[in-house]
Structure formats: C-alpha cells, structure tokens
Chain A
Amino acid sequence: MNEPVIELSGVHRRFPEGPAALCDVSMTVGAGEAVAILGPSGSGKSTMLNMIAGLDRPDAGTVTVAGVRVDRLGEAGAARYRREKVGMVFQFFNLLDDLTVLDNVVLPAEMTGVGRGEARSRASGLLETLGIARHARAYPGRLSGGERQRVAVARALMNRPPLLLADEPTGALDSASGEEVRALLRELHADGQTVVVVTHDEGLAASCATRVVRIADGRIASDTRVVNGGSGAPAGVADGSAAVAR
C-alpha cells in the first residue's frame, strides 16, 4: 500500500437516543486508492464519511487524514482542514443557487485566500477538463443533474486536495448522468486522485473502486480489493479473504 492518506483507529460514535453509529472501526486508505464504502441505510457509512471530512468527531478513537489528527480539530481548524485536505461531492450537489457555475467553483479557493486571477484560471481549467466550460456563466438551476455534479466535482478539486470524498454522488442522477459521473471518478482515480465514495450503488463501486468496504451496524463487515477496479471493466474479487471485522 502507498503512504496512508486516511487512518481510522478504534473509532466509536454514538448519537443520543440511538445505537452506536460506528463501533470500533479501524481502516487505512493509501494514497491513490479508490475506496467504495457500501452499506444499507443507517449502517454508519455516512457517519464514517463525516468523521473523515472533519464534519463530526468520534466519541473514541482517532482519525488521521494526510497527517492531520482530524478528531482533535476545533471548528476553525476543521474548516481549514477541509479547505486544504478534502474535496467533497454530495448526493444533491449542494451548489449555491445564487452563484454562477464559475463562482461556485472558485469559492473554496477564495476562502483560502488564493488570488482572484489564479482562482479563476484554475477553475476555468477544471471546467474545461470536466467538459462544462461552456456553462461557466450559467446558474446551477439551468444545468442537468450530471452537469451539476460535474460542477460539484470541479469545486471539490479546486484546492487540489489529496482526498476526494463523495457521498452518494450518483444517488440523485438518472442513469445516463450517473454514468457520466462514474466515468469522471474513474478518470480522477486514473490520474492518481485518492477517492472515497459512499454509496448504495453496487455498480458505482464495481466500476470505480479498487477496494470495497462494506459496513453493517456500525462495523466493517468486509474489506475487499477489486480486480480491475477503477478501470471501468467488469470487476472481480481479488482477495476474498480480506474481509476484516475488527
């Protein structure tokens, strides 16, 4: 495995009036990996994503991402961490409707203090790469679902984060748009981007991920490397015995 980007160790999280959302979860993700986290609703996969993104903190255990102890960060520290280390893509895009596509994309860079010219140049390049440059001055409401998710991906990559997190990135898309996004994630992975995708979509996991982590009842039920994962070709299980439940 390459140098680890994500290290979860003994992570435990329980919400008031409910069972443990995560229970003693440990996992490592190396640089350049494309990991799909699969599980039914309420299994704890989104909670795990939130821990990695610094949106939530564990009750116990440690979360380290790109050398940063995320579980120790305050609100301001977590905000800076998200700017620099993480790009996030959401199921419902979460674009700001009153900003143009270009303005949405440059936003993370602007909050980091990147100069306006450099930010716009970088954003334009990303939009070009993702094939949506013609929509730069449009508002998100006028784009298709797939286009909107491309904008969201561009925004996530704006600060060149070492880690891209995607929460059900195809969940709100029709099949054609979903395929566009799958292809996009594959391309990103192929370019060396570390990607963690939370999804229900077995197809997405199979086509984009080099590793599939299944979660059930807050525990890792299996952790499987996928043959040809991330290549778009039919995938197979390379190491069926890699299931881990610590």
Chain B
Amino acid sequence: MSALGRVVRAGVRRRRVQTAVTGLAAMMAVTASVLGGSLLVASNAPFDHAFALQHGAHLAAQFDAARVTAAEVDATSHDAGVTAAAGPFRTVTADPSGGPGLELPPGVAMDPMKLVARSDAGGPVDDVTLSSGHWVSGPGQLVVSADYSGPELGLGQEVDFPSASAGVTALRVVGIARSVSRTADGWVEPSDVSGLAGTKGADAGFQMLYRFASASTTAQLAADRDAIAARTPPGSLSGTRTWLDVKNSSDTSTGLFVPFLTAFGLLGVLMSVLIVGNVVAGAVGSGTRRIGVLKALGFTPAQVVSAYMGQALIPAAVGTVLGALVGHLVAGQVLATTEQVYGTVSLTVAPSVDVAVVGGVLLMVSVTALLTALRAGRLRTVDALAVGRTPKAGRGRRAARLSRALPLPRPVTLGLARPFARPARALAMVTAILFGAAAVTFAFGLGSSLQRIQDAKATTADVTVLTSAPPQSGGPVPPASGVAGASGAAGGATRAPGTVDTAAMTRAIGAQPGTRAWFGTARTQVTAAGTTGSVDVTAFLGDASWAGYRMVSGTWFHRPGEAVAPTPFLTATGTRVGDTVVLTDHGRAIPVRITGEVFVTENQGMDLLTDARTLASAEPNLKAAYFSVALTSGTDRSAYANALNAALRPTGAIAQLGDGGGASQLLIMLDALTGLLTLMLVVVAGLGVLNAVVLDTRERVHDLGVVKALGMTPRQTVSMVLAQVVLIGAVGGALGVPLGVVLQRIVVPAMGHSAGLRLPSVVLDVYQAPALVLLGLGGLVIAVLGATGPAGWAARTRTAVALRTE
C-alpha cells in the first residue's frame, strides 16, 4: 500500500468518532434528502403524473343497461376522436349493510358502492393500480378502492349486500386499488354484477372509459361527450364524468398539502447540506496539526489534500449508501401516506432524486473537504504544527471574563464561554438548532392549524337528528369529517329530506330533557348573479350561530335576507362582505346581503349559508335534512340519544351522536407524516450539535485533563460540556421559533389559497405564549441531547489519558 493509502486508512481507523460522525451525518443527510426530494417531486402536479401513469380516462361514461346494449356501447370506442377506450364494463351501484367486524354506530349505514365488473386491472384506459392484495380472480371477491368514502375495508373483510328478496350477498375484500380517474368504489367479477343487481336499491348499467385526441378543455370534452351520446340510443347515456372534474376536485384537495410537503422537503434538503458541510469542514479542519506533521514528513500539498479528501469521502460514501437504503425504506412509508393524501398512485423515489442526492452529497463532501484541506494545506508547515489544534489565541477571552462574573458554578461559566472561542463552529451549531427548532415550531403550528381546520369543518352539535334515511354520499350530510373531502365515485342518489313529520320531531327534541338548543339544516340550490351553474344554499331553521362555523371576516347573519359565504363564493361572484348578491330560486329573485366570510370547504366553497326564511318566498316548504342539537352541561350524550330515539320512533327520525371530533384518517396520516419529518429534522440538528461538540471536546481533551487533574468531578465535567451548548441552544431556539412561526404563517395560508380559501384567524393564531416558550426551549433540548454523548465521554475519559493527549 502506498504511503498515501496508509495515511488515509490510518486516519479513517484512528479517528473513529470523526469517521462515525461523518458517515452518520452523510447517512442522515441522504435519508432526509431522499425523503425531502421525493416529497418535492411527488408534490409537483401529483394528479397529472398519476393520470399519465394510469392512462386515465378523459371521460367516464355511464350507460343505462335498460336502454342500450353492450355492443352498442362498445361501438362508441371507434368514434372519431377516440384514441383509446376501455369497456364496456357491467356496473352496479349497491348498498352495503356492513359485515363481520364492521361496527357501525346505530343509525349509520355504509355509503353505497359503485361496483364495476373488471376481470383485469390493466388496460389501455384507467390502468388501475393495485396497492395491496390481488385482483379479483373469481366470484365473491371484491377489490375496494382506496378512495371509497365509507369505512376502511381491509383485506379479508367481508361486506354484506342485503338482497331485495331474501338472503345476503357477501363479497370478500381481496385487494385494495386506486383509480386516479375515480371510476369505481370497487371492482368485482362480471358474474357478481348480476347477483348484486338483485340486491336492495341496486342500479345496474355499463361503464365506458375513453381517451380523446382533444380533451384539454371543457368545451372539447363536451363535444366528445355529445358525439358519444349521438351514437347511442337517446337517454341511454345516464351520466358522465370528465377528467377535468376529477382533476379539479383532486387539485383542490391536494393543493392544501403541496406547500406543506414542499416546506418540509426544502427544510430537509437545506439542513442536510448544512450538516454535511459542517461535519466535513470540522473533521478536516481539526486535522490541521496532522496535516502539518504530514507536510513535515515530505507530503506534498496535493498529497495532503488527497489524503484528507479520502478520509472524508470513505465514511461519507458508506454513509451515503446506507442513507440511500434507509431513505428508500422511510420514503416508501412516507410516499404511501403521500399517495393517500394526494390520491395518486405508485409514488416511488424517482431515480433523478437518487442521482441528485447521492451525487450531490458526495460532491458536497468532496468540495468541502477540498476547500478545507486546501486551506490547511496552504498553511506553512511550522504554523500547522504550532496552531493546529487550538483556537486562535485571544478568541473568547472577553466572553470568558464576562461569564466568570456570573453567579454560577465555575464549570458552568467555563462552558458558557466556550462557544466564543470557536465562533464559526458555534454559528454552525446555532444554525442547525435554528432549523431544528423551526421545524418543531412549524410542525406544531401546522398540526394545530390542521386540527383547527378539522374542528372548523365539524359542527359542535352533541346530537344530530336525521329526518330521513341516513345520509348518503352526495346527499345532504352534516358537515363531514375529513380534511381533503375526497369524494367517492358512487355519487349515490340524494334521498328526499324531511320525509318525517318535522313538527312532531321538533316538539320531541324541544321536550327532551337535556336539550339546550337546536336548529335544522336544509339544503337547496339556487343561481347567483355573476356565476354560472348552481350554488348550494345551506338554510338554517332556528338559531345556528352556535354551530361552530368559523368566520374569516364580518359577522354571522342575524336576520332573514342576510347570509354568510365562503371565500370561493365571494371570489366567483366578485362580491365582498357588506355587498348584496341576488339569488334566483325557483324563478324568484332574492337579494341577500353578505354579512360575513365564513370558512366552509364543502362543495369547494360554492355555498351560501342563510336563514331558511330568506328563501321562504321561493321555497315556503323547505324542510330540514337534519337537526343539530346542543345539550345542557352534564347531559350524557349516549343516554340522551337513546332517549330521544325512543321519543322519535313514531316520527321515523333517527338521533345519533354528533360529530364527536374523532380525528379523520387523513389528519392522522398528516400528523404521522409531520411527526416523522420533524423527528428526522430534529435528529439531523442534534447530529450537527453532536459533531461540533465531539470536535470541540476532542480538541480540548488536554485542557479537560488539566481541569480534571485539578479536581473537576465527572458531574462537573458533564455540566461544563453541556453548558457549552446552553447558550447556543437558547439562541438557536429563540431564532428558530420565529422562523417556524413565519413558515407556518406562509405555508398554512398558502395551503388555504391553493384550495381557494381564506383561513379564519383562529386557524392561523395557534401559538400561545406558553407554547412559544416551550418551543423555544426545544432548541435547548436539541442542543443538550446532541451534547450529552460527548459530555459523557468527557466525564469518562481518564485524566491521565487526557493529560497525555497532545
């Protein structure tokens, strides 16, 4: 082996801590960067990428099986302009009633399922992605859509479909899949469709999926649809869904999360860059004296530089490989969650991310090592030998004098002054902690904001009374849980509200002991001046001001003729709070004054909330779909609901517990994702501190030996080393917290803006003073955790050994 090779090998072996820290830092940096980079890539037009990957359907057409034959539908695939088609597939929309282990609350039914008979997941259009299990291979099997809006159905779950006549048809879940085009809630064998067609409420038909040469605008898609309708018997085309509808819905949902994931991705990459640079610069810089020795032995500057680049690159390369492996493992989990969030498929670590991260980290290590080694290599040999290990004389003396005056134990004041002797290293530590504290603060703020968005979407009703059958997908539903509001494919028929004796029902509610307040909610549609298409109106019977709707600006309405509207409605109509907008309901013009901007995400914000009496002239018989009831303090909700159900039995209405605030699956996933990303950033920050403190204690090991020889106990030694990072942690925390707050103030509104919403202040103002103080202390915790290892090492180091160390 050459002399250079021996020097490199010896350097890597003897400086085990430095080698380990360099490798570990590279590993963490690569892991964080793979994750961050993958999130950045995944956040770039997620729907479009997934749509292209699955050859998504530009148009999903539903045909009435009673009016058209399969052959006639199939013939449409040869229309001019159709570039690819799949189908016809037999479809049935059926009502599942539950199944073993699916414990649904009383009065709650599963959402209807649109089932499509497909013997194969693939095809020229809508190449469905199976995420677990297998595709249907025989009767009685069900592949459920990951976007099905009903309860989560796992593999092996049996789902019952009550027959209209007798008996139950059961399907067993054998796979979970996702169609970006949202073409079904589930897929079954063709033979099962016939069986399910006989179940209660089933609605059979054909599905045909198309891709067109021209499908980039609504007008083009309308022309394509008209062409198909013209080729089939009149009235047989019962419904269509364009890819722009799905994209719009998806973008509205995912747009919320793009800024969030982008912010975390960028933070991860930035911190990785910082830590790796810091570690390598420190490792090489601390070897200045050794460089002096090598030069004294006759090594040329080029050989010295090569030796130190080698010493940095070997552990960095090992760390990079390990980091890439760990990154892929972690990213696999995170991207699976991201798929859920974005409603996309097959998110993997892009090869470009691997190449960029691995190449980037190794390049950075090389450049940092090169620059630092060049600097050391340029030193005169005698200077390198003389000054190598110690900080520049005179640095930090003023701080030492000042700290000495503090009424603290001497080991602590010695430690407090230490960062000022190595300002560049201290700055690097402050920066690492700053990022870590910012990440924690941001994550806290984001989690709180998401929770408040969730809270704002749910009413504060203790009990909900349904005036018809339980709510169905697409029907009048109480404000639903779920942040993104991912819509199912079924679009089941709306049941007519108010099919029970409302007067008797409200009397029962009012008479029930424990009732504090109640109001009814009706839904209808109107048109509004300045918009095309219809606008949903949520009309309240009674005082709904306590319902928990969050105001962005203005006030809740107080009388008929007033209304509150979400941001998208105001944007679409070009109105502001205080303006009057004219609604047209059943041919009657109804002027309504907007008293406030309310935070509502349903119907993509095209909703207007008003008193039912506002619409009385047009719809005098508007009936509530459900009633929300608030209970007096101390009333047991379950007991109340049971008692009320008994009282309501003659009316046919059903009382069920209100939205208990159970966290949505999506929120849980986002919280988990936030937690994981934050943990990684904190670990990287802690690693930055660990590295810096290791370098410092190693450099100062002789001084450590001196103070230990003078009688410093292990506990005092630990306190001295920890005190070294206290100021740094405090400063990093103090700077990181405002940065995290600023980040939250940028990202959360950006998330709302992506979805066309302005967020109420209650969603943004999540930081209270005690929380800020605690978050600031988070920087201190990161610093102390990072320094604990080196402090323990310093305490354990034998005094005689430390004294012998040059």
Query: Could you list which residues of chain A lie within 8 angstroms of chain B, going by C-beta atoms?
Result: 50, 53, 55-56, 75-76, 78-80, 82-84, 88, 90, 94-100, 103, 107-108, 110-112, 139, 141, 155, 159
Contact = CB atoms under 8 A, between A and B. Distances in A.
Contacts of B800: 50, 55-56
Contacts of A83: 710-711
A80 B711 contact: yes
B421 to A, nearest CB: 6
A112 B709 contact: no
Contact of B713 (A56, A76, A141): A76
Given A96-B703, A99-B400, A79 B712 contact: yes
Contact of A112 (B394, B396, B400, B711): B711
Contacts of B709: 53, 55, 82, 88, 94
Nearest to B795: A75
Given A82-B709, A94-B709, A111 B390 contact: no
Contacts of B799: 55, 78
B803 interface: yes
A98 B796 CA distance: 24
8 contacts: A56-B800, A75-B796, A88-B709, A96-B706, A98-B400, A107-B710, A111-B707, A141-B393
Nearest to A55: B800
B411 interface: yes
B512 to A, nearest CB: 71
B134 interface: no
Contact of B711 (A90, A100, A111): A111
B716 interface: yes
A98 B713 contact: no
B798 interface: yes
A55 B707 CA distance: 12
Interface residues of B, number: 34
Interface in B382-412: 390, 393-397, 400-401, 404, 409-411
Nearest to B700: A96
A55 B400 contact: no
Interface in B169-205: none
Give the 6 A-B CB pairs with smallest separation, nearest first.
A83-B711, A110-B410, A55-B800, A79-B713, A94-B706, A76-B713
Interface of B: 390, 393-397, 400-401, 404, 409-411, 417, 421, 702-703, 705-716, 795-796, 798-800, 803
Contacts of A110: 409-410
A74 B716 CA distance: 14
A75 B801 CA distance: 13
A96 B421 CA distance: 13
A111 B411 contact: yes
A107 B409 CA distance: 11
B699 to A, nearest CB: 12
Given A97-B393, A98-B396, A98-B400, A108 B714 contact: no
B803 A75 contact: no
A155 B709 CA distance: 12
A156 to B, nearest CB: 9
A78 B799 CA distance: 10
Residue of B409, B712, B715 with most partner-chain A CB within 10 A? B712
B397 A108 contact: no
A184 B396 CA distance: 33
Given A55-B800, A94-B706, A111-B716, A82 B711 contact: yes
Given A99-B400, A139-B397, A141-B393, A55 B711 contact: no
B416 to A, nearest CB: 13
A173 to B, nearest CB: 18
Nearest to A76: B713
Nearest to A81: B711
Contacts of B798: 55-56
Contacts of A94: 702, 705-706, 709, 803
A99 B400 CA distance: 7
Residue of B706, B710, B715, B795 with most partner-chain A CB within 10 A? B710
Residue of A83, A98, A112 with most partner-chain B CB within 10 A? A98
Given A94-B706, A110-B410, A111-B410, A76 B715 contact: yes
Contact of B710 (A97, A98, A103, A108): A108
A98 B421 contact: yes
Contacts of A82: 709-711
A79 B797 CA distance: 13
A54 B705 CA distance: 13
Given A98-B396, A99-B400, 12 more contacts: A55-B709, A79-B708, A94-B705, A95-B706, A107-B410, A108-B710, A108-B711, A110-B410, A111-B707, A139-B397, A141-B393, A155-B710
A216 to B, nearest CB: 21
Given A50-B800, A96-B706, A98-B396, A111 B712 contact: yes
B422 to A, nearest CB: 11
A75 B404 contact: no
A103 to B, nearest CB: 6
A133 B453 CA distance: 70
